[in-house]
């Protein structure tokens, strides 16, 4: 132990020496034993999986914590040629929407499926902010299993947040817009009359995870920012932060910041569920895509749905209440007990903490403002308020909890993370971030049982933190040890896209459930080749189906002739391997979509339309064995109407 201490001291000295040449102040927050706390030796696993929003990359990244090592990028809303996602015939339908194929999005928030208010490691839900979508990722395969589009919505920002048993995942529109349909062509300046907010409640099947747009709440036209479900005693409630209660439609920077207070909207979702069950909802004709990936056929299908049930909140007096919250609230976070709701007015100089019990008492006593807001009762600020954290910092955004009675709030303008006590509302510690922190996350920090050991700050600006890389620098995550009284910065690492929210869970919850191969005998793909004997080339008019197999280290067939200009060629590639971590790739010269990456036991299809005559090499792109470079072949393309017959073979076969 003493040796350990000496070594740690030596390390501390060297760290201090290294950081002393950094800009003034930027090394102060670094913990002395940072390296020992974040070092994960070769061959060892990280303690936690960390699922991090990929922002405008449209993807979800997976990091190991505490090492900060990037483990995987899961394609969700954006096409990914590396994995053939959105390019293979099987996955193209996943990116279908009512606008057609939309191969990108802006992925902001991450929510794990929960049981009893704690992450259960089954699925991760993420939102597409641009073309409003919600996706479910299966944590057995680390693949996107389902994407549902949201009608009547624009800018799906207040999403995806879930109830304690993932009964519902909600998706609130950031931009209020005229509801979908033929009456939506209205002057923009009629915002107040014609624009509406919609909150989608998507139900989740407990066993399969299947998503269903159960109903929507139609609300006054405001901007919904974030949301959180209640916990424990507040289980039946959902809280949404809203800004632009001025209902401005231009120069929002000024016009949406006029009121002293905006709102947190409290929704009794159990009541909403009852009203829908009782048939009180209005059926509205809409169009939205619902895309599902079938693991048996390894093929996605996209279905256009035509109807949604809507509850107008103004028509139900006991369903929704507004709570005044200072200056454009961003985060709206519920503590582990379900009693405290922290509003973060991003332009406010204080943090209001609301009390669930007081909100209930205020509703019972009708402690409302004299005037409703667009037909919805407004609870008196003081009647709902537990207390205020005074002068916490500038630009509060998000709050997470450590389960020990403390809250941690990110401050964008003053670039810091501030720890404060929920009961006495006193600030306990503040540490700088580099720079302009947005979201922050404590593993389980949004649940009933936070894993209060680490905090990760996700920063928007990283000037001078990394070797410069031209005009743009990667955004960053910063890991803090929060096990002691003071937060200690222990690691700084770049992220993909712009990270927004994230989730993290102990590795044990996920790692042993991993699917290692797809069982080839369970493969129900209609174009599967069950062994090399079934590899073949079939012409049907001007369509050519190639049933091709891969195994270390050859393609079967590897010589194909008889393809003609004007043909559409479908390569259905079955990977015959049944060994973990042995995908094969498939590529052909001139392919104007992507390569394929086929997992063991899987069949994946690449469409190829040759644009000229000649001989086109095909090859495996994923280095698979010592003879990987030999894993190749040729496709001959002849002129249209040529008399070269379809032939195919491998070796002498």
**What distance in Å separates the CA atoms of residue 400 and residue 502, rounded to the nearest whole number?**
12
Q: Which of 41, 251, 278, 364 is close enough to bind other proteins by CB under 8 A? A: 41
Residue labelled with tokens 């900060």: 68
Counting every residue written for the chain, the total comes to 653
Partner whose binding site includes residue 7, from Cu ion, other proteins, none (CB under 5 to 8 Å by kind): other proteins
Q: What angle do CA 246, 247, 249 make, to 5 degrees?
A: 120
Q: Which of 112, 202, 489, 620 is close enough to bind Cu ion by CB under 5 A? A: 620
Q: Which of 300, 624, 635, 637 is close enough to bind Cu ion by CB under 5 A? A: 624
SS3 533: helix
The H or E element that residue 275 is part of is: helix 269-277
Q: Give the contact letters, 569-588, x = binds to Cu ion (CB under 5 A), - = no.
A: ---------------x----
Cα dist from 566 to 353, 536, 612, whole Å: 67, 20, 9
Is position 519 an interface residue for other proteins (rule: CB under 8 A)?
yes
Residues touching other proteins: how many (CB under 8 A)? 38
CB of 584: closest distance to Cu ion in angstroms?
4
Partner whose binding site includes residue 470, from Cu ion, other proteins, none (CB under 5 to 8 Å by kind): none
Least Cα distance to 85 among 268, 232, 274, 300 occurs for: 300
Q: Give the contact letters, 292-331, x = binds to other proteins (CB under 8 A), - = no.
A: ----------------------------------------
Question: Nearer to Cu ion by C-beta: 460 or 584?
Answer: 584
Question: Nearer to Cu ion by C-beta: 83 or 584?
Answer: 584
**What distance in Å separates the CA atoms of residue 446 and residue 448, rounded to the nearest whole number?**
7
Is position 363 an interface residue for Cu ion (rule: CB under 5 A)?
no
Is position 617 an interface residue for other proteins (rule: CB under 8 A)?
no
Least Cα distance to 266 among 329, 308, 192 occurs for: 329
Partner whose binding site includes residue 620, from other proteins, Cu ion, none (CB under 5 to 8 Å by kind): Cu ion
**What distance in Å separates the CA atoms of residue 167 and residue 114, rounded to the nearest whole number?**
9
Partner whose binding site includes residue 42, from other proteins, Cu ion, none (CB under 5 to 8 Å by kind): other proteins
Q: Would you tell me how many other CB atoms lie within 10 Å of the CB of residue 466?
A: 13
Of 233-241, 276-284, 384-392, 627-635, the window that binds Cu ion (rule: CB under 5 A) is: 627-635
Residue labelled with tokens 């001139």: 590
Is position 214 an interface residue for Cu ion (rule: CB under 5 A)?
no
Tell me 518's DSSP state.
-
Cα dist from 403 to 22, 52, 169, whole Å: 35, 22, 23
CB of 10: closest distance to other proteins in angstroms?
6
Tell me 544's DSSP state.
E
Is position 118 an interface residue for other proteins (rule: CB under 8 A)?
no
Partner whose binding site includes residue 515, from other proteins, Cu ion, none (CB under 5 to 8 Å by kind): none
Is position 515 an interface residue for other proteins (rule: CB under 8 A)?
no
SS3 590: coil
Structural contact between residues 452 and 404, judged by C-beta atoms closer than 8 angstroms: yes
**What distance in Å separates the CA atoms of residue 35 and residue 418, rounded to the nearest whole number?**
23
Across the beta sheet with 416-421, the strand order is 396-401, 406-411, 416-421, 427-432
Question: Nearer to other proteins by C-beta: 9 or 254?
Answer: 9
**What distance in Å separates the CA atoms of residue 238 and residue 338, rounded to the nearest whole number?**
11
Question: Nearer to Cu ion by C-beta: 133 or 554?
Answer: 554
Partner whose binding site includes residue 584, from other proteins, Cu ion, none (CB under 5 to 8 Å by kind): Cu ion
Is position 507 an interface residue for other proteins (rule: CB under 8 A)?
no
Is position 579 an interface residue for other proteins (rule: CB under 8 A)?
yes
Instruction: For 4, list phi and psi in degrees, rounded to 5.
Output: -55, -45
Buried b (16+ CB within 10 A) or exposed e, 259-273: eebbbbbbbbbebbb
Residue labelled with tokens 């120069």: 251
Of 126-134, 315-323, 341-349, 574-582, the window that binds other proteins (rule: CB under 8 A) is: 574-582
**What distance in Å separates the CA atoms of residue 304 and residue 97, rounded to the nearest whole number?**
8
Of 191-199, 283-291, 531-539, 638-646, the window that binds other proteins (rule: CB under 8 A) is: 531-539
CB of 530: closest distance to other proteins in angstroms?
5
Is position 270 an interface residue for other proteins (rule: CB under 8 A)?
no
Question: Nearer to other proteins by C-beta: 48 or 147?
Answer: 48
Question: Nearer to other proteins by C-beta: 70 or 517?
Answer: 517
Residues touching Cu ion: how many (CB under 5 A)? 4
**What distance in Å separates the CA atoms of residue 396 and residue 159, rounded to the nearest whole number?**
19
Q: Which of 229, 631, 635, 637 is close enough to bind Cu ion by CB under 5 A? A: 631
Question: Nearer to other proteins by C-beta: 126 or 520?
Answer: 520
Is position 626 an interface residue for other proteins (rule: CB under 8 A)?
yes
Q: Which of 110, 383, 520, 546 is close enough to bind other proteins by CB under 8 A? A: 520
**What distance in Å separates the CA atoms of residue 9 and residue 532, rounded to the nearest whole number?**
62
**What distance in Å separates the CA atoms of residue 422 and residue 335, rounded to the nearest whole number?**
9
CB of 4: closest distance to other proteins in angstroms?
6
Structural contact between residues 502 and 520, judged by C-beta atoms closer than 8 angstroms: no
CB of 555: closest distance to other proteins in angstroms?
10
Q: Which of 521, 540, 592, 643 is close enough to bind other proteins by CB under 8 A? A: 521
What residue ranges bind other proteins (CB under 8 A)?
3-4, 7-8, 10-11, 14, 35-36, 39, 41-44, 517, 519-521, 530-533, 549, 551-554, 556, 576-580, 582, 625-627, 651
């Amino acid at each position: 132990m003493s040796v350990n201490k000496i070594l740690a001291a030596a390390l501390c000295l060297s760290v201090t020496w290294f950081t002393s040449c950094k800009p003034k102040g930027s090394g102060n927050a670094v913990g002395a034993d940072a390296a020992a706390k974040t070092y994960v030796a070769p061959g060892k696993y990280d303690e936690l999986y960390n699922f991090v929003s990929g922002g405008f990359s449209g993807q979800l990244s997976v990091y190991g914590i505490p090492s900060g090592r990037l483990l995987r990028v899961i394609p969700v809303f954006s096409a990914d040629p590396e994995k053939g996602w959105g390019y293979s015939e099987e996955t193209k339908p996943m990116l279908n929407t009512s606008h057609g194929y939309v191969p990108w999005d802006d992925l902001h928030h991450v929510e794990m499926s929960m049981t009893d208010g704690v992450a259960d490691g089954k699925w991760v839900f993420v939102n597409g902010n641009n073309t409003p979508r919600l996706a479910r990722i299966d944590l057995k395969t680390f693949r996107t299993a389902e994407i549902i589009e949201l009608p009547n919505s624009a800018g799906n920002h207040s999403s995806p947040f879930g109830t304690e048993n993932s009964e519902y995942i909600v998706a609130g529109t950031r931009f209020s817009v005229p509801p979908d349909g033929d009456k939506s062509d209205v002057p923009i300046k009629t915002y107040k009359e014609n624009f509406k907010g919609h909150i989608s409640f998507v139900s989740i099947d407990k066993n399969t995870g299947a998503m269903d747009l159960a109903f929507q709440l139609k609300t006054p036209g405001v901007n919904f920012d974030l949301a959180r479900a209640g916990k424990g005693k507040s289980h039946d409630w959902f809280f949404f932060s809203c800004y632009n209660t001025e209902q401005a439609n231009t120069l929002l920077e000024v016009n949406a910041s006029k009121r002293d207070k905006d709102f947190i909207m409290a929704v009794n979702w159990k009541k909403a569920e009852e009203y829908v069950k009782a048939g009180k909802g209005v059926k509205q004709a809409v169009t939205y895509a619902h895309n599902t990936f079938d693991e048996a056929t390894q093929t996605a299908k996209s279905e256009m749905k035509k109807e949604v049930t809507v509850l107008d909140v103004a028509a139900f007096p006991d369903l929704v209440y507004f709570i005044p919250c200072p200056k454009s609230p961003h985060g709206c976070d519920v503590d582990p007990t379900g009693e405290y709701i922290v509003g973060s007015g991003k332009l406010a100089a204080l943090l209001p903490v609301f009390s669930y019990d007081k909100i209930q008492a205020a509703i019972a006593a009708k402690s409302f403002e004299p005037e409703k807001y667009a037909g919805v009762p407004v609870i008196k600020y003081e009647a709902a308020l537990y207390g205020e954290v005074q002068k916490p910092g500038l630009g509060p955004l998000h709050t997470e909890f450590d389960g020990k009675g403390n809250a941690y709030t990110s401050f964008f303008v003053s670039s810091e993370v501030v720890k404060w006590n929920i009961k006495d509302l006193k600030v306990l510690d503040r540490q700088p971030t580099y720079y302009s922190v947005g979201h922050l996350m404590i593993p389980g920090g949004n649940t009933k049982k936070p894993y209060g050991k680490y905090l990760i700050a996700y920063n928007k600006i990283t000037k001078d933190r990394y070797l410069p890389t031209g005009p743009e620098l990667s955004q960053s995550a910063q890991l803090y040890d929060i096990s002691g009284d003071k937060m200690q910065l222990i690691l700084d690492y770049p992220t993909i896209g712009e990270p927004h929210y994230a989730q993290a869970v102990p590795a044990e919850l996920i790692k042993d459930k991993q699917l290692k191969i797809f069982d080839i005998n369970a493969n129900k793909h209609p174009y599967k080749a069950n062994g090399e004997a079934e590899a073949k080339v079939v012409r049907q008019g001007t369509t050519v189906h190639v049933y091709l197999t891969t195994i270390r280290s050859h393609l079967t067939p590897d010589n194909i002739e008889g393809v003609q200009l004007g043909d559409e060629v479908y390569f259905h590639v079955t990977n015959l391997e049944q060994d973990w971590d042995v995908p094969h790739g498939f590529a052909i010269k001139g392919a104007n979509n992507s390569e394929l990456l086929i997992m063991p036991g899987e069949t994946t299809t690449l469409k190829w339309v040759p644009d000229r005559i000649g001989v086109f090499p095909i090859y495996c792109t994923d280095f698979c064995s010592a003879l990987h470079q030999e894993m190749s072949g040729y496709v001959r393309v002849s002129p249209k109407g040529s008399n070269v017959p379809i032939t195919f073979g491998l070796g002498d076969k």
